[in-house]
Amino acid sequence: MSSEDLLFVKPNLIIEGLIDQFYAWLYLIPPAQSAMNFSNLHLSMLDSYVQQPKVHAAAVANPKMRGGFFVDYDGERVAEIKELRERLVRENSALLELAKGIKETDELLRAQATGFDLTGLYRQLPDAVRGFVELVYDLNHQPSVRFLEPLLYRSKYYRDERQSIELSLDDGSSRPFTLSTPRLPQPGHLQLPLPLRHEGIDRLFSSRLSPASFGDLREALEIEADDHAQVLRSFLTTDPLIPAEREVTAGGRVRYFGHACLVLQSPTVSIITDPFISADHRAGDRYTYADLPDHLDYCLITHGHQDHIVLESLLQLRGRIGQVLVPKNGSGNLQDPSIGLCLERLGFDVRVVDDFEEVAFEGGGIVACPFLGEHCDLDIRGKSTYWIRMAGRSIFIDADSSGIEPELYGRIYEAVGSADMAFLGMECDGAPLTWLYSALFTQPVSRKMSITRKLSGSNAEQAMGIVQKLRASEAYVYAMGEEEWLQHVMATSYTPESYQLKQVAAFLEECAERGVKAEHLLVQRELRW
């Protein structure tokens, strides 16, 4: 083979974005949220592993502990974890100061913000947060802190140097749970100290469709070491996988790629929702990156949970996405970081949309709609459903929005019309409050409180309410994390007796009785008209 041969990336190449060696997701990138997770979660996990590695190994091996915060290295590599912990503390001293400052600010408000003038409290703020926050009351005189998030991104608290990437081939084997296990170097994997916005990432994944020379790709990724170059070469091939029927020339098509990922196409537009895509084309039972259209006009993000804004997919697609539509957040709440600011920092073309804002395209349009529930009753506004009109049909993308108030969907119907097809989330017994948000709290949360506030979508009754209020003629339930290939993010486990699956069955039965075409999706499905 000539050194000048043009090469494609192998179809099963994957990329993991990393923050401090941890799998990158929304709450690890914005400075305030990242500081809280680093200080209150990551360091304690690493300390626990160093002290009791065998306990972690036993927990990881126990199916009942799936999704727990245990480091998955089989009780080994303790010295490396200890070294990582020590390095992170040295490099992230500013983040520790910020996390401490956030906690002290909350304590200050609890002690002294009693409904009277807040002006004097600014002089008592910790140095770490001064100039980055506003102290406010709501109309019930409850105090809170508003973070000036754009300023924090421009401060010492945001450093590209914390970011890196890991490249590897998907061979169908399971990966460690993303929220708990830092990525240590291992054979066949290539870790590169590149910021997540680096243009070399786009150049690499553009070679899925347009080949490049090995030298060009090595240069684009700034690889100097020969051993790293050899690993990169193992990710490349002269034989591309570019299936036919990736485009649509007439009518409309929806392809289900798994979880909440849909690709909607007509001759005039291509749209992807919450990209979370398998790279394991050899499995033969799913759509993969190879089945995507060459260009995606719009990418719709519904909310910021780690299974809906999935950087391992978004980074692969950045170079072929026209615009990412994201929901407008509440501007400044610790629990509600801006998805738009985050993705802009990572090099995406982003448009932030508010409720009932419309994005028009030839032959149709996208309307952002309200999203209720699924966030443990926290004041999180960065979440949106979408109503899409294309190829003569109306399609409602519900994601994990819950039917806790069915009248909302009646209002949506009055505003935008009926839905020919509705895609619904029915993970109706989700994880408790502290599973995802514990690091953000500055006061302990009782277990009793935590388990009453869950990351739950609709049950059968609530889903039926959505369908009825939208006058939907077809309803499709997402797989809710049943696909094995995404368990490194989902860590879900179902049996035929699981409450969630029983609720889906009850919903499908009632749909049949009411003459609504309904289906529980799993792994792969194509709908055409």
Each residue's pLDDT tens digit, 256-299: 999 999 999 999 999 999 999 999 999 989 999 999 999 999 99
Task: Tell me which DSSP letter residue 259 carries.
Answer: T
Average of per-residue pLDDT across 464-475:
97
CB 109 within 8 A of CB 134: no
Give buried/exposed letters for 101-136 (b at 16+ CB in 10 A, else e).
bbbbbbebbeeebeeeeeeebeeebbebbeebbebe
Q: Note whether 516 and 472 are within 8 A (CB).
A: yes
CA separation for the pair 78, 50 (Å, rounded) = 6
> How high is the pLDDT of residue 114?
97
Which domains are assigned to the chain?
A: 253-528 (3.60.15.10)
- What is the per-residue pLDDT for 493? 85
Using DSSP, state whether 316 is helix, strand or coil.
Answer: helix
Q: Which two tokens stand for residue 422?
A: 């509705």
Q: Are 213 and 6 in contact (CB under 8 A)?
A: yes
pLDDT at residue 4, rounded to an integer: 66
Other Cβ atoms within 10 Å of 446 Cβ, number: 9
Residue 331's pLDDT is: 80
At 244 the pLDDT is 87
Kindly report, residue by residue over 106-116, the tens digit of the pLDDT.
999 999 999 99
Average pLDDT on 492-507 reads: 93
Phi, psi for 303 (deg, rounded to 5): -165, 175
> Distance between CA 258 and CA 275 in Å, rounded?
9
Q: What is the CA radius of gyration of the chain?
A: 23
